[in-house]
Chains A and B, each alone.
With several copies, the nearest count.
Chain A
Amino acid sequence: MNKIIPELVRNSVIGSIKEGKRLDGRAFDEYRPIEIEIGDLGKAEGSARVKIGNTRVECGVKIGEGEPYPDSPDEGILTVNAELVPMASPYFQPGPPDERAIELARVVDRGIRESKSIELKKLCITPEELVKVVYIDAYVLDYDGNYIDAAAFAAVNALQHTEIPEFGKLPVVKKPISNTFAKIGDAIVLDPSLEEESVMDARLTVTIEDNGHVCAMQKGGSGYFTADEIKNCIKTAKRKTKEIRKLVK
């Protein structure tokens, strides 16, 4: 009944990685299968479901209106929220977003915001008074490792298909792709599974823009990276991103 990772599995993961193999047979820089389903525009102005392996995220985009921030009076507002809903994992609890969910939201936010993915100036209705507000909500419904990339990718896909009533398509010009690595011992693997996350020392997310530039990074976990490890992750991310970006629907 209980799916908490047993010690045995943890040891297998580590042993396998030491021998240069992942338990599920993937190469160190290989993603699990990725499925994308674009929402049929029910109540959300845009939505997408992304599965990476068994990890599943539903992302909905809602458009509202509001007053712009004083320091960007002619720009629309972007708001990203993420929920690790308790149905997704026995490790998630009901209640307001905890530090993990907040970190997730902020990492997804930075990828979209820093790549200037959305042309926020086009969302200004009346400067200093009224602008469009883009709410991105990522719901992690099933958690089997690497919710960051699943949520970020769901957001990118949902934004591509967001239609604002009496306004038109949301002006989206970039597809920032987040790539999350786990460091296990001396090895670094892309797209960690739940079992791999349970034994990883540290985590690194590298978000790459369409032009190959880095637009966001985030280290997580109680371990560390060396400078060379980070440089290698960036190189791998730049390479993998090209494949992943093609999957955007």
Chain B
Amino acid sequence: MGKSSDIKLITDGKRIDGRKPNELRPVKIKAGVLERADGSAYVEVGGTHAIAAVYGPRTLHPRHLVNAQKAVLRTKYDMAPFSVDDRKRPGPDRRSIEISKVTREALEPVIFLEQYKKTGIDVFIEILQSDGGTRVAGITAASVALADAGIAMRDLVAACAAGKVDDTVVLDLCGKEDNFGQADMPIAYAPNEDKITLLQMDGDFTEEEFETALKYALDGTKRIYELQKKALKERYEKNE
């Protein structure tokens, strides 16, 4: 957060890309975009493009990982080298290892893992283009991919971020807002279950700002949730 800079991020109540504070970027969601995976989904949020694939339930290797009570969920978040301004070296770095962890913990609460004892469910997320909010786009995609794979779930998880730029609480930060803003708070939420399954935050929030940001974010996830359901409906209709 907050490289100090002279960049003005809000002018006349409008953000640098013309949005209002509580406005999402254009969101596209498509289920079933890959042939090989058991389930898959593609998500675009503005300039951020994420694709997720699911394999499983399947036999888990190595065997010592097997859990007799439930499926083991594994997640891998990865940014393509060409998804960012300066080429990223391929392979996991500390950031992507942390994001893989919180992504798994964002999805676990809604999957009926106990229905798939002794198996593994693998979720792979690739960020093909990055313009802020890649982890939440990845979680949104992963959730649809899990449903596309026919994995039993309590609810879908929808994810988006809220934050603060130029002392204003805003929804869904783009890359520049993320770089030069004052706070960023990615959230994942299962609306039907009323469960916040991911929450991270860095920057500077008063208690009141936090509460506004949380309201914005939960509101944003609900709108994304509708698009997730629509994408799955289109997928099923196409398959019939």
Contacts and interface: CB of A to CB of B under 8 A. Distances in A.
Direct contact of A and B (CB under 8 A): yes
Contacts of B97: 99, 102
B177 interface: no
A1 B58 contact: yes
A90 B37 CA distance: 8
Interface in A133-190: 135, 137, 139, 141-144
A238 B207 CA distance: 9
Interface string B189-231: 0100111111111111111001100100010000000000000
Given A223-B109, A225-B196, A213 B101 contact: no
A114 interface: yes
Contacts of B101: 99-100, 102-103, 220
Contact of A222 (B38, B83, B105): B105
Contacts of A212: 206-207
B237 interface: no
Contacts of B172: none
B40 interface: yes
Contacts of B98: 99, 102-103, 106
* Interface of B, helix, strand, loop or mixed by DSSP: mixed
B80 interface: yes
Contact of A219 (B40, B84, B199): B199
B129 A42 contact: yes
Q: Interface range on chain B: under 10, 10 to 19, 20 to 34, or 35 or more? A: 35 or more
B200 A218 contact: yes
A50 interface: no
Given A86-B76, A87-B40, A230 B199 contact: yes
Contacts, number: 188
A44 interface: yes
Contacts of B195: 224-226
A71 interface: yes
A230 B3 CA distance: 28
Nearest to B199: A219
Contacts of B199: 204, 217-219, 225, 230
Contacts of B201: 214, 216-218
A141 B51 contact: yes
A42 B47 contact: yes
B36 to A, nearest CB: 5
Interface in A220-242: 220-227, 230-231, 234-235, 238
A213 B81 contact: no
Interface in A90-133: 90, 94, 96-97, 99-100, 102-103, 105-106, 110, 113-115
B130 A43 contact: yes
A139 B91 CA distance: 12
A77 B3 CA distance: 13
Contact of A139 (B100, B126, B129, B205): B126
Given A137-B90, A204-B199, A219-B198, A227 B214 contact: yes
A56 interface: yes
Contacts of B129: 42-44
Nearest to B157: A224
A141 B126 contact: yes
B82 A62 contact: yes
A2 B37 CA distance: 9
A224 B196 contact: yes
A216 B124 contact: no
B196 A231 contact: no
A3 interface: yes
Nearest to A53: B35
A58 B126 CA distance: 11
A99 B100 contact: yes
A135 B87 contact: yes
A42 B126 contact: no
Contact of B202 (A54, A61, A137, A215): A215
Interface of B: 1-3, 34-38, 40, 47, 49, 51-53, 55-58, 76, 78, 80-87, 90-91, 94-95, 97-98, 100-102, 105, 108-109, 122, 124, 126, 128-131, 179, 185, 190, 193-207, 210-211, 214, 218
